[in-house]
Chain A
Amino acid sequence: MSNFLRKNAWVIGLSILLALLLIVTKMIQPSFGASGLESVARAALPFAFATAGMAVVVIVGGIDLSVASIMAVCAVTAAFLMERMASVPALFIVLGAGLAMGLINGALIVLTRVPDIVVTLAMLFVWEGVALLILDSPGGKTAPWIQEIIRDGFLVDWLPKALILLSVCTALIWGPIRRSKLGLSIYATGSDERAAFRSGVFVGRTKIIAYGICGLFCALGGLSLAALTGIGEPVPGPYLMASVAAVVLGGVVLGGGKGGLIGPIIAVFILRIIRTILTLMAVDPNVTTIIEGTIMVAVVMLGTAATMRGAKT
């Protein structure tokens, strides 16, 4: 039991922080209730998926700067296809496209031996361009049921459907992988590539798959984005910095090998709740953006400093 507490201390701490922030919210705005929770969960959905994807590649020891662009491609693809064909096959096409884009990123990193940060920076623009080619301005239309699936509560009011969807999708994708040989290989590669190689891990293959998983999560993020707005928006949103910050805050060390997906997802909600609190306090939304940006940069700076200290001792 104590071992469990120690291993998950960070996640538990984050959960307590989140609970405290929710209480603060309730104190500032006594009317904050089921509907407030629902809108926070809904707005957090694309952020949470982007963060989950980012977390996987950071765990494998890389980084994917193109998450927001892949999400944009998936969002416009969804909106474009659903206007023209049945929504269920369109959904699968979008998921497949996300997976494919992630795998392409990973393969380019492994095959060209160009560092991940450079490859995904270039791919950021490539995917952005692809999104613009599919729809050159916001348009298309998502199926009504897709929009419904993330709206309102599930059975009871205070359990947002968006939250259920997030949990189910994350658990379905990451759950089986986490405990499998593949999951171990992902952690092993991020932790110590040479030791992993010596232990018989196929490092390159593992990396490519990790980027593929990231792409799949980004596809979910793009779909939820399209569901939120009802249309497809070809310009990438502010998901890159937010996901890096949430991943770091969530206890995944830049450099790899440590952490999981639960911490980063809780971190997403913490960042969103802070935004809600600022809004409730009637802070100018633009000032909110600055504060949010500063928090994100500070989190990444502290995380990097902590990693450096860890590496020195």
Chain B
Amino acid sequence: MSTATTDPAMIRLGRFLRDNPMIPLLVFLFLLIATLEVMRPGIVIPLRSGRDGLISTFWVGNLIKFAIPLAMLAACQVLTMLTAGIDLSVGVVATVSAFVCATLTTIWGVPAAAIVALATGIIVGAVNGIGVGIVRVHPLIMTLGTGLIATGCLQVYQRLFINAGSEIPEFLVWLGTGRTAGMPNGLFLFVPFALFVLWLMRYTGFGRLLFALGSNEQAAKLSGVRAWQVYIALYVLSGFIAALAGLLYLGMIRQTSLSLANPLLLPSVAAAVIGGTSIFGGRGSFAGAIVGALILRVLDTMLTLLQMPEGARTALFGLIVLAVTALYVRITGTR
């Protein structure tokens, strides 16, 4: 059907890019970095340090550091998008988790606070999962709604705990801001996390089902898959990851705020989409999303250097999501 309307060379190119999404992504990332270096010589390769040709570990470390929480939230989007869903509550969940942890640490100590913080993510995820899997509300609407409710809950919570004060756990600060051999300590959390997600997607039955539900829910049903079970587990997992990312972000920013991680929401969707994950389900790669997160961070630096206002950045990210999706529809001819 699509063959008649689309140029065969385009299809071949599309297929190649779909099969090897990392190649163009990495090329694009390095092109961006090179452009950045041209724009502002010295930012990537500091000549002053006298070690010519060595990429500034400081800059790279910084880039990675800020890309980590974004990549973690992008993991939520990749996993949910595999089933043709999306999780728009991740920004709020991360914020809630960070806030709860910071305020409870003074009362109950770090471990209990962290556990409660992660539990909030699980609860929101469970509500999302029930709404999407059993009531069959569109994930976008459902997660938007729970995000709204969670924001309200956070505000009430804040008033109750206004006197308790807050404290950022030492461990999170170490994880968020510390460096080991020039690289951010966040990698100690992120590398195992990323390996886990990659393993989950590729080598487990659950991962198979995510792809299956997104490619063809009917076929999955035909094979005996009870979709609601998968959806609930998926959104709980997504909530948990978001809460975890919130804790890391807390240690990085070292401040509590009622909208701490909210601005990461759109970039997390954009990172997943740029990384080759299809918003229509059945196709996605977390490795791509990580590169996507790095690309967005470099882009962000560039836009800041160009003194682009906040608004232009938001609009640009929105357009990127739309353009990539439209291109995907054009190339593959799917719906």
**4 closest cross-chain pairs (CB), A and B:** A129-B315, A132-B311, A125-B318, A129-B314
B140 touches A121 (CB 8 A): yes
Interface residues on A, range: 35 or more
Nearest CB in chain B: distance from A151 CB, A = 29
Tell me, rounded to whole Å, the shortest Cβ–Cβ distance linking A286 to chain B.
Answer: 4
List chain A residues, Cβ under 8 A from B316: 129
Select B156's contact among A123, A132, A284, beta carbons within 8 Å.
Answer: A284
Q: Which residues of B contact A304 (CB under 8 A)?
A: 135-138
Of B29-37, B142-150, B185-193, B215-223, the one with at least 4 CB within 8 A of chain A: B142-150
Interface size class of B (residues with CB under 8 A): 35 or more
For residue B127, give the distance in angstroms from its CB to the closest CB of chain A. 8
Q: Which of B138, B144, B151, B326 contacts A114 (CB 8 A)?
A: B326
Cross-chain pairs A/B with CB under 8 angstroms, 15 sampled: A114-B322, A115-B280, A123-B318, A123-B322, A125-B317, A128-B311, A132-B310, A136-B311, A286-B152, A286-B155, A286-B156, A287-B152, A300-B145, A301-B142, A304-B136
For residue A51, give the distance in angstroms from its CB to the closest CB of chain B.
15
- The contact of A122 among B149, B151, B319, by CB within 8 Å, is B319
- Give A114 to B140 CA distance when docked, in angstroms: 15
A121: chain B residues within 8 A (beta carbon)? 86, 140, 269, 321
Contact B315 A130 (CB under 8 A): yes
Assembled-state Cα–Cα distance A65/B138 (Å): 13
Give the CA-CA distance A122 to B88 in the complex, in Å: 13
**Contacting residue for A241 out of B131, B144, B319, B330, CB 8 A:** B144
Instruction: Collect the chain A residues with CB atoms within 8 Å of residue B138's CB.
Output: 117, 254, 304
**Stretch among A92-100, A170-178, A201-209, A290-298 lining the B interface:** A290-298
Q: Which residues of A contact B135 (CB under 8 A)?
A: 301, 304-305
How far is B170's CA from A4's CA once the two chains are assembled, in angstroms? 68
Closest to B266 in A: A125
Tell me whether B136 and A131 are in contact (CB under 8 A).
Answer: no
Contacts of B152 in A (CB 8 A): 286-287, 289-290, 292-293
Closest to A244 in B: B141
Determine the chain B residues whose CB is within 8 A of the CB of A213 once the complex forms. Answer: none
Which residue of chain A lies nearest to B327 when distances are taken between CB atoms in the complex? A112
- Is A5 at the interface (CB under 8 A from chain B)? no
A113 at the interface (CB under 8 A from B): yes
Q: B315 and A133: CB pair below 8 A?
A: yes
In the assembled complex, the Cα of A175 lies from the Cα of B275 at a distance in Å of 47
In angstroms, Cα B263 to Cα A129, docked, is 13
A124 interface residue (CB < 8 Å to B): yes
Assembly CA distance A134 to B310 (angstroms): 11
Question: Are B131 and A122 in contact (CB-based, < 8 A)?
Answer: no
Cα distance, A137 to B64, chains bound together (Å): 31
The docked-state distance in angstroms from the alpha carbon of A113 to that of B131 is: 27
What separation, in Å, do the CA atoms of A287 and B144 have in the docked complex? 18
* Cβ of A200 under 8 Å from chain B: no
